[in-house]
Amino acid sequence: MALLILFGFLAGAGTALSPCVLPVLPIVLAAGATGGRRRPLGILVGLTASFTFATVALVYVLSALGLPDTLLRTLAIVVLLAFGAILLVPPLSARVEGWLSRVAGRVSAAGSGGAGASRSAAGGGAAGESGGAGGARRGDGFGSGLLVGASLGLVYAPCAGPVLAGVITVSAAQPFTAGRLAVALAYGLGSALVLYALMLGGRRLTAPLARSSGKLQIAMGAVMVVFALAMLNDYDLRFQSAIAKDLPAFLVNPTGGLEKTRAASDALADVRGGEGGIAAAALRAQDRPQAPGESGAGGDDDGKDDGTSGAGSGSNATHAAAEARLDLPVIGDAPDFVGTQKWFNTPGGEPLSLAGLRGRVVLVDFWTYSCINCLRTLPYLEAWDARYRSDGLTIVGVHTPEFPFEKDPGNVADAIAREGIRYPVVQDNDTATWTAYGNQYWPAEYFIDEKGRVRYAHFGEGDYGRKEEVIRTLLAEAGRDVGSARVRAHGITASRQVTTPESYLGAARAGEGFMNGAILPGQHDYGRSKPPSPDQLAYSGEWKISEENATAEGGSLDLNFGARRVYLVLGSPGGSRRMRVLLDGRPLTARFAGSDVHDGVVTVTGQRLYELVDLPQAGRHLLRLEPDRGVDAYAFTFG
């Protein structure tokens, strides 16, 4: 953790030296060059605190209150605008700063037994000399600096780099941890210290103008007003997007090399919890030479790309080996279902516990209903439930959401009904059970014996034949006679020729796959973009970008993909909307259309995964989407 905090500090300092800071730099320098001598220190403290809040805790507040994620940015810009306007009137500025300094002094005195008050009073005279307008009335500037810094931190938050993005909370579904707080605080402090040094340098350069301090203050106020108005119209975000697109990577992110080191990656995995728990123990247990005929974790049973896969279609050699039972090590005691919400498919909606299931074999499946990889495993889970429930198997689907709308119990209930799931499902909205297992994957399956011990785990799709043999082995160990019949399940398998990675459309996880450069929150007019390169995307026209999704405002989206099937998580708040789908410049025909496309159009109703394209075979194609205004798009997946 200490190493990651150090990386966060260095990355924050590097961000303050990158072009991303240019839109806020004039306001920082303008505010720091005027006022009391302690205003720069107040800006440093305020910026560090509010930046940390914005990157770690803000998502919880907005989620709890149901507020839009741009609200606090707008309020922060309004504060900066008001502060600049106040600087335009020196007498008013003196009164406001004096009042803020007295407030800061009282707070300090309350916390330190009065010492802070005497320091504030002592600083007031010095501030009066620099401002020339009221001496002690003006105060030392710390209070006003605190207010400006707090506003700047909320505006500066989108500049957060990959190290911070790897550990901050990007949705209210993730748990708050001290580790994330420490890294975010270090990142903010690194940035604030660099900006503090720049402010001190600016004050030194403007010191010769002390005799004309009133005029200097008015000029700095005008600068703040102009740049705050620009921010209010998202010109700062457009500027950041433009420089990210056109400048070399080493200028846009000076610490990019540091952030991609093995040490940083290992530290990130540690703070996420990926280095501990049952999940990590299961990976270590499987890190051994494979027996002849044994499939590796994550592999497909048959490697077919014909849309079917038989869980019981393995070779005779595999079945013969299974009759002798698999040698399954004890990985560890299974964590119970903790911090859960609503239960489905249980008597009276009552919760289950591993203690109450003792004596039965339990399969815990982590999934989420908008994940295509999860949905492709459901036919096998449902078949095993139907075949082995009466023999002592209990499957529990732990629904851990990836997007905020997946926390809605109504949406989960609709998905359970749509997919025909009959085994118990529980909501893990706060990722408490996910964290207890140290899980990092959708889907992930943990096989628990009748004594409550994890004996096998599998991450991802495939390997269905082996997983059924694990179930049979554990049931046999429990003294159950399961007979010789195996299930015959059929499901779609991902094409081995998929080249396009999962692609997120919101700012938090957009990555580097966009022709538009860095994808930042806010209202954007991307104009007419060039056709995307292979495995790239391109926004055109107007879009509203949030951390999690992109909302169409009259624009279109192009994708150059290499796959057989294309899926997209969509939503349409407040009613159904339509989206035109074009393939290689033409409306999508029924021959190549996914199950949710009819006559080249998708009708978007509920928030879920939509199948857009289903080709006879994988290939390279250009997809264009033209959604109605108000359609929300979250993430592409491929198969």
Candidates 379, 349, 286, 10; CA nearest to 161 is: 10
SS (H, E, C) 322-389: HHCCCCCCCCEECCCCCCCCCEECCHHHCCCCCCCCCCCEEEEEEECCCCHHHHHHHHHHHHHHHHHH
pLDDT at 135 over 50: no
The predicted structure's pLDDT at residue 394: 95
Q: Are residues 252 and 124 in the same domain?
A: yes
Q: Which phi and psi (to 5°) does residue 563 adopt?
A: -170, 175
544/46: higher pLDDT: 544
595/209: higher pLDDT: 595
Residue 460 within any structural domain of the chain: yes
Name the packing angle between helices 178-206 and 262-272 (round to 10°).
130
Contact 603, 576 (CB under 8 A): yes
Q: Are residues 160 and 31 in the same domain?
A: yes
The predicted-structure confidence for 410-424, as pLDDT tens digits, reads as follows: 999 999 998 899 999
Q: Which of 210, 235, 263 is the last residue before a domain boundary?
A: 263
The predicted structure's pLDDT at residue 63: 57
Q: Rounded to an integer, what is the distance from CA 349 to the centroid of its chain?
A: 31
Q: Which of 459, 477, 495 is the last residue before a domain boundary?
A: 477
Q: Give the mean pLDDT of 442-449.
A: 93
Domain housing 520: 503-638
Would you place residue 236 in the very low, low, confident or very high pLDDT band (cuts 50, 70, 90)? low
Residue 132: Cβ-neighbour burial (10 angstroms; 0-12, 13-18, 19+): middle
Would you place residue 163 in the very low, low, confident or very high pLDDT band (cuts 50, 70, 90)? very low
pLDDT at 440 over 50: yes
Q: Which residue has the tokens 């190493």?
A: 3
Residue 384 CB-half CA count within 13 A: 28
**Can you tell me the distance from the alpha carbon of 449 to that of 477, in angstroms, rounded to the nearest whole number?**
8
Q: What's the CATH number where 370 sits?
A: 3.40.30.10
Q: Are residues 471 and 619 in the same domain?
A: no
Q: What's the CATH number where 543 sits?
A: 2.60.120.260
Q: Are residues 79 and 176 in the same domain?
A: yes
**Can you tell me the distance from the alpha carbon of 519 to that of 536, in angstroms, rounded to the nearest whole number?**
13
**Can you tell me the distance from the alpha carbon of 320 to that of 49, in angstroms, rounded to the nearest whole number?**
63
pLDDT at 313 over 50: no
**Can you tell me the distance from the alpha carbon of 23 to that of 156, in angstroms, rounded to the nearest whole number?**
9
The predicted structure's pLDDT at residue 99: 65
C-alpha distance across the termini of the chain, in Å: 37
Share of the chain above pLDDT 70, in %: 66
pLDDT at 130 over 60: no
Whole-number mean pLDDT of the chain?
Answer: 75
Q: Are residues 259 and 284 in the same domain?
A: no
Residue 273 within any structural domain of the chain: no
Residue 348 within any structural domain of the chain: yes
Q: Are residues 429 and 376 in the same domain?
A: yes
Q: Are residues 438 and 520 in the same domain?
A: no
Mind giving me the DSSP string for 589-634?
PTTTB-TTEETTEEEE-SSEEEEEEEEEEEEEEEEEEEEPTT-EEE
Most confident of 67-71, 148-152, 242-246, 600-604: 600-604
**Can you tell me the distance from the alpha carbon of 247 to that of 244, in angstroms, rounded to the nearest whole number?**
6
Q: Are residues 303 and 256 in the same domain?
A: no
Contact 472, 322 (CB under 8 A): yes
The predicted structure's pLDDT at residue 61: 63
The predicted structure's pLDDT at residue 229: 81
What does the longest C-alpha to C-alpha distance in the chain come to? 96
Number of independent structural domains in the chain: 3
565/498: higher pLDDT: 565
Residue 157 within any structural domain of the chain: yes
Q: Give the mean pLDDT of 603-626.
A: 93
**Can you tell me the distance from the alpha carbon of 284 to that of 278, in angstroms, rounded to the nearest whole number?**
10
Per-residue tokens: 485: 């019949």
Q: Which phi and psi (to 5°) does residue 446 adopt?
A: -120, 125
**Can you tell me the distance from the alpha carbon of 4 to that of 456, in angstroms, rounded to the nearest whole number?**
32
- Asked if the peptide bond before residue 404 counts as cis, ω within 30 degrees of 0, the response is no
Residue 444: Cβ-neighbour burial (10 angstroms; 0-12, 13-18, 19+): buried
Q: Which of 477, 492, 523 is the last residue before a domain boundary?
A: 477
478/84: higher pLDDT: 478
Q: Are residues 434 and 535 in the same domain?
A: no
Residue 488 within any structural domain of the chain: no
Q: Are residues 113 and 215 in the same domain?
A: yes
Q: Exposure pattern of 399-429 as b/e (b: 16+ CB <10 Å)?
A: bbbbbbbbbeeebbeebbeebebebbbbbbb
Torsion on CA atoms 545, 551, 557, 562, rounded to nearest 10: 80
**Can you tell me the distance from the alpha carbon of 511 to that of 499, in angstroms, rounded to the nearest whole number?**
16
Q: Are residues 512 and 468 in the same domain?
A: no
Contact 448, 455 (CB under 8 A): yes
The predicted-structure confidence for 1-40, as pLDDT tens digits, reads as follows: 566 677 677 777 776 666 666 666 777 777 666 666 777 8
Residue 164 within any structural domain of the chain: yes
Q: Please give the model's pTM, rounded to 2 decimal places.
A: 0.58
The predicted structure's pLDDT at residue 621: 94
Most confident of 48-52, 107-111, 264-268, 590-594: 590-594
Q: Are residues 197 and 235 in the same domain?
A: yes
Per-residue tokens: 631: 């359609």
Residue 483 within any structural domain of the chain: no
Residue 489 within any structural domain of the chain: no
